Structure 1
Amino acid sequence: MLQKPRGTRDFLPDEMEQRREIEMRLRKVARNWGYREICTPTFETQELYVLRSGEGIINEMYTFEDKGGRKLALRPEGTAAVIRMYVNEAKVLSKPLRWCYLSDCYRYERPQKGRYRQFWQFGVEQIGADTPAGEAEIILLAYEMLKSTGVRFELHIGHLAPMKHILSELSDADRKAVMALLDKKNFEDLKKYLEGINAAGLYDSLIKLIECKNIDEAIELCNNCGVSSDMPDKDRMKELIAIIDSQKIDYKLNLGIVRGLDYYTGMVFEGFADNLGAENQILGGGSYRLAHLFGGDDTATCGFGIGFDRVMVSLGEVKPASSPTVAVVYTSDVAGYAFTAAKELRSAGINTELNLLDRGIGAQMKYAAKTADYAVVIGAREAEAGTITLKDLKSGEQKECTVADAVQSIL
């Protein structure tokens, strides 16, 4: 028997209904904030992702050559393709652009709880609003979207300006190495690395920055860290946090967020579920500039991605919105009338199932009890009278009526 590929899943109807329910909640909030849905190809040129993330990502992707010898890759994430689409299709549109998407992505990595080789990401991108207000909107939208799912989470908000200021006198290579160790929270090796490059004095400043409880404390720390220049973006950072604070949301200031990705330029934020153990991050985002890599102008962008699969794991069982289901139970001699009755029920927006097997009335009723809320029973007498017998399968109550009357009773 053939098995599905490792790191992929099959979704039966109950699970799909739960997933669609959460998708619908996310889409509803995004649209309410003015973010419209887009869709990009499942595969792109391999070069797109290499330009975004470097050559190392090739080993993490599903790559292939098409019949024309072109090197292609299944998308490992959503952002690069969205910015490529912006450069190709939407540079002349009025700014800011507010876009959202739900994409299946593919990465060749070790599967684990909530992490698969095929996974889904709900992404949001805001293009062309280089302001604290634009960044604040993205953070607040992410907060509202996660709240709408019912997941329990903690939101961390940070900014890279203080970190970059403290490290500004290091070489690019040393700065990247230090930030990589910070991202992994490997403080022991961080201390050794800084000692090895004669910058041991930075260690205390970095640890104090991570422990800062407010923006003013971080600015004071940067003013006294020994770097000669003034910290850039401090006013912008204060304005962003002031807007966030005005909205009374629950969050933790975390100036130790590094995100591990070179293209983030300022504001960064992350969300963590409280019941997923070590792999508990369900959201990540920030401000970045990618358009110039793909042939566009240097355009300010900010956005985030929600790990949809991890959200579903964190939520556990979800009760989707439901509507009544009707099973039409009938004898074989009145099949035409039964199909007509089913058509009328469906036209009224009622989920309706017809018996398709050679079953007697008793067997049909037994099956209906497992799948439906109501049974519409039709025999020769009902067909001749132009009626049906409507039975409530939960209460056991039943009555003979027209299909139109049955619609009123069900709805």
Structure 2
Amino acid sequence: KPRGTRDMLPDEMERRREIEARMRARARLYGFREIATPVFEELELFTIRSGEGIINEMYVFEDKGGRTLALRPELTAPVLRMYVEEGRSLTKPVKWCYFADCFRYERPQKGRYRQFWQFGTELIGADSAMGDAEVIILGYDLLKTAGVTFVLRIGHLSFMRTLLADLSDSDAKKIRAFLDKREEAAAVTYLHDIGQDHLCDPLIRLCGARTLDDVFAVIGEIPEAARIQETFAILDAAGIPYEINPAIARGLDYYTGIVFECFAEGLGAENQILGGGAYRLAHLFGGEDTPSVGFAIGFDRVMVALGETGWNPWQPQVMIIATSEARTDALRVARELRMHGIITETDVMDRSFSAQMKAAGRSADYAVIIGKEEVATGTVTLKDLKAGTQEKVTVPEAIQKLTCA
């Protein structure tokens, strides 16, 4: 298989689908409905927002019509493109969620692959503290629903922008890039190198701030203060635990306000599992300037962080064991069991009765045995293959016992 990709066997797929289902159901409770976009898009959709440099991290190709296309490296841009083309007339706010695979040409690491999956949400058209807070609460709730242990950290771009307001755009961007990589010492060194020593101590103090009072003590009052304070008050009222982190810079330049990240245990250095914030993108794709807030969850990292916890996969596995004259009855019983949600297999290898029993012992929890006597009495023999016990019961009785197992 290509480097950075994986094969997923049935046990892993069942586990992933279970966690997916929990997260989808939780997002729906908040009114978010699922959408889907194409796997490939026009290359310009991504370069118009992130610049030409992103091409080196993407799978780019030319189709037979000479169009330059790219496998999607993320989903926010496609979703906003979809909003501009299909959703501008919808009642605001638009609440969309998605689960899909993305593709990036980068060095594979633990929980980081070239084909990877994202679960994300976008709240489009709401410009309020309540909108910002609801999306943060939903992100927190989704990770808790999945069973992940994590820390939620929240910042606001105005904090660092205010402190670095007198720097050139290129210098401020380099400082934010250091902070985005959690390289505070490198940011301080850079300030020293460009002759901005007076900012070194405030930068250190701001990065260490853990309350809004601490933040405003460094940067003073800012126009966004009331909105920021309201957002945090809503989170407090909702009982959401978080840490304030003014150093969150986010690698994508389009964020405009609140930013937030979640970091999970057990992932080593690559432990960010969720990232999001407030942004404006629709105008880049021909739409009106529209406030939006959203996040993406790295689903592969969710599964790595969960390890073997957070899921109980066991369901009774049943194997029908039938003699040749009972094959018709075996098919009928199998159908009835499956209609009641019981995982049921029948012999497809034309095995003898004893060979069927051996096969059941290797792969099933229960055997439903049907022979000449069972056909005559309208019963089956239900055998617990782990305990070694068995009893003759009717099919409805077998169904009741198996669904309660």
TM-score calculated relative to the size of structure 1: 0.94
- Residue 244 of structure 2 is matched in structure 1 by 253
Distance apart, 1:380 and its partner CA: 2.2
- Residue 365 of structure 1 is matched in structure 2 by 357
- Residue 239 of structure 1 is matched in structure 2 by 230
**2:262 maps to 1:271:** yes
Distance apart, 1:18 and its partner CA: 1.1
Bigger Cα displacement from structure 2, 190-199 vs 364-373: 190-199
Alpha-carbon distance change, 62 to 313 in structure 1, aligned in 2, over 3 angstroms = same
**2:40 maps to 1:48:** no
**2:155 maps to 1:158:** yes
Matches of 1:74 and 1:332 in 2, distance apart?
Answer: 53
Alpha-carbon distance change, 27 to 179 in structure 1, aligned in 2, over 3 angstroms = same
Q: What's the secondary structure of 1:306's corresponding residue? A: strand
Alignment check: 8 A CA contact 2:147 2:306 kept: yes
Matches of 1:266 and 1:152 in 2, distance apart?
Answer: 26
Matches of 2:279 and 2:290 in 1, distance apart?
Answer: 9
Alpha-carbon distance change, 181 to 348 in structure 1, aligned in 2, over 3 angstroms = closer
Q: Quick one: which amino acid aligns to residue 272 of structure 1?
A: F
Distance apart, 1:386 and its partner CA: 2.7
TM-score calculated relative to the size of structure 2: 0.95
**2:282 maps to 1:284:** no
Alpha-carbon distance change, 163 to 337 in structure 1, aligned in 2, over 3 angstroms = same
Q: What's the secondary structure of 2:121's corresponding residue? A: strand
Distance apart, 1:188 and its partner CA: 4.2
Calculate the aligned-residue CA RMSD, in Å.
1.6
Matches of 2:132 and 2:184 in 1, distance apart?
Answer: 30
Where do 1:188-207 residues align within 5 Å?
188-207=185-204
- Residue 107 of structure 1 is matched in structure 2 by 104
- Residue 61 of structure 2 is matched in structure 1 by 64
- Residue 349 of structure 1 is matched in structure 2 by 341
Counterpart selection for 1:11 from 2, 8, 12? 8
Matches of 1:47 and 1:359 in 2, distance apart?
Answer: 59
Deviations 1:322-363 (A, max 9, x none): 432221111223222211111121122221111111222222
Alignment check: 8 A CA contact 1:21 1:320 kept: no
Q: Quick one: which amino acid aligns to residue 360 of structure 1?
A: S
Counterpart selection for 2:78 from 78, 81, 87? 81
- Residue 336 of structure 1 is matched in structure 2 by 328
Distance apart, 1:174 and its partner CA: 2.2
Matches of 1:118 and 1:284 in 2, distance apart?
Answer: 18
Deviations 1:148-206 (A, max 9, x none): 11111111111111211112222222221221122223344433432444432122212
Counterpart selection for 2:123 from 118, 122, 126? 126
Alignment check: 8 A CA contact 1:161 1:232 kept: no
Where do 1:273-312 residues align within 5 Å?
273-312=264-303
Distance apart, 1:24 and its partner CA: 1.4
Deviations 1:271-290 (A, max 9, x none): 11122111111111111111
Q: Quick one: which amino acid aligns to residue 239 of structure 1?
A: E
Matches of 2:265 and 2:339 in 1, distance apart?
Answer: 44
**Identity rate, percent:** 57
Q: Quick one: which amino acid aligns to residue 147 of structure 1?
A: K
Matches of 1:74 and 1:288 in 2, distance apart?
Answer: 23
Counterpart selection for 1:214 from 211, 214, 219? 211
Matches of 1:112 and 1:181 in 2, distance apart?
Answer: 21
Alignment check: 8 A CA contact 1:97 1:127 kept: yes
Matches of 1:311 and 1:119 in 2, distance apart?
Answer: 12
Q: Quick one: which amino acid aligns to residue 27 of structure 1?
A: R
Alignment check: 8 A CA contact 1:127 1:302 kept: yes
Matches of 2:327 and 2:183 in 1, distance apart?
Answer: 71
Q: Quick one: which amino acid aligns to residue 360 of structure 2?
A: A
Q: What's the secondary structure of 2:258's corresponding residue? A: strand
Q: What stretches of structure 1 of length at least 5 have no aligned partner?
A: 224-229
- Residue 185 of structure 1 is matched in structure 2 by 182
Deviations 1:200-226 (A, max 9, x none): 212221211111121122123212xxx
- Residue 23 of structure 1 is matched in structure 2 by 20
Q: What's the secondary structure of 1:288's corresponding residue? A: strand
Deviations 1:298-330 (A, max 9, x none): 111111111111111111124344432221111
Bigger Cα displacement from structure 2, 341-350 vs 39-48: 341-350
Alignment check: 8 A CA contact 1:328 1:352 kept: yes
Q: What's the secondary structure of 1:11's corresponding residue? A: coil
Matches of 1:322 and 1:185 in 2, distance apart?
Answer: 42
Matches of 2:188 and 2:150 in 1, distance apart?
Answer: 31
Counterpart selection for 2:305 from 305, 314, 336? 314
Counterpart selection for 2:382 from 367, 384, 390? 390
- Residue 226 of structure 1 is matched in structure 2 by none
**2:116 maps to 1:116:** no
Alignment check: 8 A CA contact 1:17 1:320 kept: no
Q: What stretches of structure 2 of length at least 5 have no aligned partner?
A: none
Alignment check: 8 A CA contact 2:188 2:203 kept: no
Deviations 1:239-272 (A, max 9, x none): 1111112222221110110012110111011111
Matches of 2:314 and 2:30 in 1, distance apart?
Answer: 26
